[in-house]
Amino acid sequence: MSTRVFVWLTGLAGLGLVVLVCVQAVRKDESGALVALALVGAALLAIPLLYQRLESLKVSAMAVELTLSKTIVELGAPKAAQLLERSGLTGMVESYEFVRRELANSEYENARIHLQDALVNQAASLSRTQKLDPKEVHRIFRDGSPLLRVLMLGLMEGDPSLADTSVVVSAIATSRTANEQYHGLVLAKHLWRNFSAGERAAVLSAADADPRIEHDPDRKTIVEELRATP
């Protein structure tokens, strides 16, 4: 922010100099200093115009990762953003987004699910070895895009201490995608033995209230397993 202000102040200074030179030129002042001032003013005036282009050139190779990381930082999770960036996961997510757009037809649905599950597995591997802040993970899950929500569930599958009942119930009851609901149920399975009777009842109520689960063999199987687990 401060850099941007400085750049625009520089531009204003340049504009001021150019105006000054013009005024002196109208008064027929033709000294060498005036020419030098005109050159300096023009250079300063050009800085704000060139700055954004230079910045874009500087980051073009990293722009994809930076965009997602910035989004995660804006969600209030700077430490998680750094870890995801360093592990290469943000790059994979952006690549997946490209593939998903290109393979939007329903005939590629299984391929898309396979790729998303691969991402979830990568996230789970990351959280098995790296310590993440549960509050940050919850924040990304709560306010993030559908894909980020699934990714956070993957992190929680790798490290169940990141999860809680609210996340599981939200993933099942208000899932943005079918795959999110599936991973919400997988997470419930991981946590089932630690859940209180009330927490189990809440999870099963959320599953029962969604008729889509009944029509999906994978999700239905997990719910039946949960019901059967003492």
Q: Report the residue from 204, 216, 220, 226 that binds other proteins according to the rule CB under 8 A.
A: 204
User: Please, which residue, 142 or 189, has the CB nearer to other proteins?
Assistant: 142
Q: Is 32 in the site for other proteins (CB under 8 A)?
A: no
Q: Is 161 in the site for other proteins (CB under 8 A)?
A: no
Q: Is 230 in the site for other proteins (CB under 8 A)?
A: no
- The span from the CA of 163 to the CA of 165, in Å, is 7
Q: Is 201 in the site for other proteins (CB under 8 A)?
A: yes
Choose the binding region for other proteins from 19-27, 74-82, 118-126, 203-211 (rule: CB under 8 A).
203-211
Place of tokens 């059967």: 228
Q: Is 173 in the site for other proteins (CB under 8 A)?
A: yes
Q: Is 225 in the site for other proteins (CB under 8 A)?
A: no
Q: Is 142 in the site for other proteins (CB under 8 A)?
A: yes
Choose the binding region for other proteins from 106-114, 158-166, 183-191, 215-223 (rule: CB under 8 A).
158-166
User: Please, which residue, 44 or 137, has the CB nearer to other proteins?
Assistant: 137
Q: Is 202 in the site for other proteins (CB under 8 A)?
A: yes
What angle (nearest 5°) sits at the alpha carbon of residue 126, between those of residues 171 and 221? 40
Per the CB < 8 A criterion, the answer to whether 14 and 41 are in contact is yes
Residues in contact with other proteins by the rule CB under 8 A: 138, 142-143, 164-167, 169-170, 173-174, 196-202, 204-206, 208-209
